[in-house]
Chains A and B, each alone.
Chain A
Amino acid sequence: MDAATLLARFPASQDLAGKDMPTFRVAGADLLAAVRFLRDEQGFDLLADLCGAEWSDRPTRFGVVLHLLSTTRKEYVRLHVDAVDDRVPSVSSLHPGANWHEREAFDMFGIVFEGHPDPRRILMWEAYPYHPLRKDFPLAGIEVPFPAADVAEVTGQKVEPAPMMGGPFVSHGGKLSEGEPSALDQSWTEEKPKA
């Protein structure tokens, strides 16, 4: 992996000194050119993974993490991209396999991929109003209308938050002094009102 050329050609990028593989932060404007450079000149021919992320230490809230694999050099490289105004250019023109990954990142985080050929939701249904992997989305879910409107009209059915009452299957690694193991997200308990 030729890190010096990448950094020289894209001055806005930054070496994040990844421990398990070379890691770079690339500006959104440079993303397509950087992925093309890695694919055509560095041999990273397979997009192993593309996922959305919610940063905790960046001015932009969301971003995208790409993992590229070279089947000839047997190496990985990781790219971090900030989603300025929740927008990132789509790499599906370079790696058609990114199509579904980007649909998933949009579905889960609400990141818009500019130039995506098919910007639909993929795991949730089309009319779903939230982006569930965002940190402010509660674990149990939020009540929303039933996807099939004709069924909902007759039965009055709704999509309700998960019934976790009485069974905290989740615990967190907080301070022990806070008492018993308890969920990070407490919105389902009876003691606290629902958000």
Chain B
Amino acid sequence: MKITKEISIGDVAARSEELRGENMTLNMGPSHPATHGVLRLSLELDGDKVVKCDPVIGYLHRGDEKIAENMTYNQFVPYTDRLDYLAPIANNVAYAIAVEKLAGLKLPARCEAIRVLTCEMARLSSHLLGIGVYAMDTGAWTVFMYTFNEREKLYSLFEELTGARFTTSYTRIGGMTRDLPDGWLAKVSAFCDGVERTIDEVDKLLTRNGIFLERTEGIATISKEMALAYGLTGPNLRASGVPFDLRKDKPYSGYEQYDFDVPVGAKGDCFDRYLVRMEEMRQSVRIVRQVVKTMPGGAWYAEDAKKIFLPPKAKVMTKMEELIQNFMLVTEGPQIPAGEVYFEAENPKGALGFYVVSHGGGVPYRLRIRGPSFVSLSILPAIVPGNFLTDVASILGSLDFVMGECDR
């Protein structure tokens, strides 16, 4: 006997309801290659779709703000290396400028030019890594090799300048640790030629690459209003169409002397954020070339800041006055007047802010660090839901964050 069963539309609908099942909670990180450090995402998934994203941070929290309250201003410089450790010199400079603003110091032109030069080289280094790793996250291995080749050359230049490849600690309050080495600027020029070729090659490999477009275009669009509401800064803000760059709009360290353009995105999706970074690299090369060409001579530290910057070593060894000055500065720290200051510098990841409160003396009363990556990550619960799980890697890479700066 043949048994047939009639199936109504209603039954099918009821069964598909059954099939939907429960949402699954997936733990991404804290050690996952796409989270670029110790970021943990607690994702709630409906099948392949993310319905809720809760970032868990703090795995790299070292208490930098507490540490700063217990040491002199110059002793804190090495800690700033470890904020955005992909662009340590830019952090050193931002911190030094914040404290110098509080002290009301005016720096000589050469010192400011060196700072601009190193900051732009740090931006190149950070964006080269950002784009190389982003390409890897979206399935293109080769780009990573191209960009890391250039970063290697940058590190050699940093090593010659500061003595360290990663942890540069190059600035002091009121100046730098040392002047540029002989012949270094010529090497920077040669590097510029090479990196421009590499940027063109990366452009050819990625910008019209079908797979890359598929994975980035239209993903995680951040509107202008949303970017402002969440306080995004740097390339992430500009990709959403807000033409705000601290180097142009609140110039510091003499950025107003150099000619450069600020790229702005149209849609604010992952692809726009990539495009903005690509163009920023070209503009950085442009600034570096200008600084190399116009590098002023003269003093490379604030010579009149007797209570802030260490005297030259040769004088310390031979003159009484300088010996006392050296001793007082090393033991008591640079003497910064009482007051408060907030300074933001346009770092590769966004605006790195330092809020320094001084009660006078050589130690800050309070030092607050505003990390751009902390702010960039706070938008994740708003933009990740609705995307597929595979897109999460693509979204994270496009925000270009670093956990050292997020957790501080």
Does B242 lie at the interface of the complex (its beta carbon under 8 Å from any beta carbon of A)? Answer: yes
Chain B residues in 8 Å Cβ range of A32 = none
B69 at the interface (CB under 8 A from A): yes
Cβ-based interface call for B368 (8 A): yes
Main secondary structure of the interface of A (DSSP, over half): loop
Q: Are B382 and A96 in contact (CB under 8 A)?
A: yes
Is A176 a contact partner of B332 (Cβ separation < 8 A)?
A: yes
Stretch at the interface among A1-9, A45-53, A152-160: A45-53
**Which of B66, B75, B370 interacts with A133 by CB under 8 Å?**
B66
Interchain nearest-CB distance for B337 vs A (Å) = 10
Residues 138 to 161 of chain A near chain B (Cβ within 8 Å): 139
Closest to A175 in B: B332
Chain A's nearest CB lies how many Å from the CB of B62? 10
- Check if A19 sits within 8 Å of B70, measured CB to CB: no
Q: Pick the interface stretch among B108-116, B128-136, B208-216, B228-236.
A: B228-236
Contact of A74 among B69, B249, B365, B379 (CB under 8 A): B249
A97–B344 alpha-carbon span in the complex (Å): 17
Which residues 51-71 of B have a CB within 8 angstroms of A?
A: 57-58, 61, 63, 65-67, 69-71
Q: Contacts A67-B342, A172-B362: A48 and B57 contacting too (C-beta < 8 A)?
A: no
Do A48 and B231 have beta carbons less than 8 Å apart? Answer: yes
Q: Does B333 count as interface, using CB distance less than 8 angstroms?
A: yes
Chain A hits for B328, CB < 8 A: 176
What are the residues of chain B within 8 A of A169 when measuring CB–CB?
71, 75
What 0/1 pattern do residues 121 to 133 of A give for CB contact below 8 A with B? 0111100000011
Which residues of chain B are near A97, meaning CB under 8 Å?
A: 229-232, 375, 378-379
Docked-complex contact A46 and B231, CB < 8 angstroms: yes
| Residues of chain B at interface, number, CB under 8 A | 54
A126 to B: closest C-beta gap in Å: 10
Report yes or no: A20 in contact with B378, Cβ–Cβ below 8 A: no
What are the residues of chain B within 8 A of A69 when measuring CB–CB? 344
A171-B72 contact in complex given A46-B231, A133-B66, C-beta closer than 8 Å: yes
Contact A49 B353 (CB under 8 A): yes
User: Min CB distance, A29 to chain B, in Å?
Assistant: 24
Q: Report the bound CA distance from A189 to B365 in whole Å.
A: 22
Query: Across the interface, which residues of A come within 8 angstroms of B65, CB to CB?
Result: 108, 133
The answer to the question of B282 belonging to the interface, with a C-beta cut-off of 8 Å to chain A, is: no
Interface contact A173-B231, CB-CB below 8 Å: no
| Any A CB within 8 A of the CB of B8 | no
A59 in the interface (beta carbon within 8 A): no
B340 touches which one: A18, A48, A99, A123 (CB < 8 A)? A18
Report whether A45 and B70 are in contact in the complex, using a CB–CB cutoff of 8 Å: no
B356 smallest CB distance to A (angstroms) = 10
- Across the interface, name the chain B residue whose C-beta is closest to A128: B58
Say which residue of B58, B228, B374 sits within 8 Å of A46 (CB atoms).
Answer: B228
Determine the distance from Cα of A178 to Cα of B382 in the docked complex, in whole angstroms: 54
Segment 295-323 of B: residues with Cβ below 8 Å from A? none
With A and B bound together, what is the CA distance between A194 and B162 in angstroms? 40
Contact in complex: A100, B66 (CB < 8 Å):
no
Q: B382 touching A172 by the CB < 8 A rule?
A: no
Segment 331-361 of B: residues with Cβ below 8 Å from A: 331-333, 335, 339-344, 351, 353, 355, 357, 359, 361
Pick the contact of A123: B57, B70, B244, B362 (CB < 8 A): B57
Whether B230 and A96, one on each chain, are in contact in the complex, defined by CB atoms closer than 8 angstroms, is yes
Q: A67-B353, A67-B355 in contact; A124/B331 too (CB < 8 A)? A: no
Decide if B366 is an interface residue (CB 8 Å cutoff).
Answer: yes
CB distance from A38 to the nearest CB of B (A): 13
Kindly list chain B residues whose C-beta atoms are within 8 Å of the C-beta of A20: 101, 340-343
Asked whether B293 is an interface residue with its Cβ less than 8 Å from the other chain, the reply is no
B89 within 8 A of A: no
The complex places the Cα of A54 from the Cα of B357 at a distance, in Å, of 11
Instruction: Judge whether B178 is part of the interface by a CB distance below 8 angstroms.
Output: no
| A71 and B341 contact, CB distance less than 8 A | no
Partner of B72 from A78, A99, A172 at Cβ < 8 Å: A172
Q: How far is the CB of B102 from chain A (nearest CB, A)?
A: 8
The 4 A-B pairs at the shortest CB distance, nearest first, are namely A173-B362, A97-B231, A123-B58, A100-B378
Listed by A's residue number, 13 A-B pairs whose Cβ atoms lie within 8 Å are A48-B370, A49-B342, A49-B368, A74-B250, A97-B229, A97-B231, A97-B379, A125-B58, A169-B75, A170-B70, A172-B71, A176-B328, A185-B70
